Amino acid sequence: MGEAARIVVDPGEFAGAAAAWIAEAINHAVAAQGSCALALAGGSTPQPVYRALARPPYDQAVVWERVRVYFGDERAVPPDSPDSNFGTARESLLRHLAIPEKQIFRMEAERADREVAAAEYARLLPQRLDLLILGMGPDGHTASLFPGSPALDEKERRVVTVIGPKPPAARLTITPPTIAAAEQTVVLVTGGDKAATVERVLRGPFAPKDLPVQLARSGTWILDKAAAGLAE
Q: Which residues bind ligand 6PG (CB under 6 A)?
A: 41-45, 72-73, 85, 135-137, 141-144, 166
How would you label 111-134 residue by residue, b for 16+ Cβ within 10 Å and e otherwise?
eeebeebbeebbeebeeebbbbbb
Q: 25 or 189, CB closer to ligand 6PG?
A: 189
Q: 85 or 184, CB closer to ligand 6PG?
A: 85
Q: 143 or 215, CB closer to ligand 6PG?
A: 143
Q: How far is the CB of 162 from ligand 6PG (least distance, A)?
A: 11
Burial (0-12, 13-18, 19+ Cβ within 10 Å), 147: middle
Q: How far is the CB of 60 from ligand 6PG (least distance, A)?
A: 27
Q: How far is the CB of 168 from ligand 6PG (least distance, A)?
A: 9
Q: 131 or 143, CB closer to ligand 6PG?
A: 143
Q: How far is the CB of 65 from ligand 6PG (least distance, A)?
A: 26
Q: 34 or 150, CB closer to ligand 6PG?
A: 150
Chain centroid to CA 154: 19
Which of these, 193, 190, 196, 188, lies nearest to 222 by C-alpha position? 188
Q: How far is the CB of 29 from ligand 6PG (least distance, A)?
A: 22
Contact 23, 59 (CB under 8 A): no
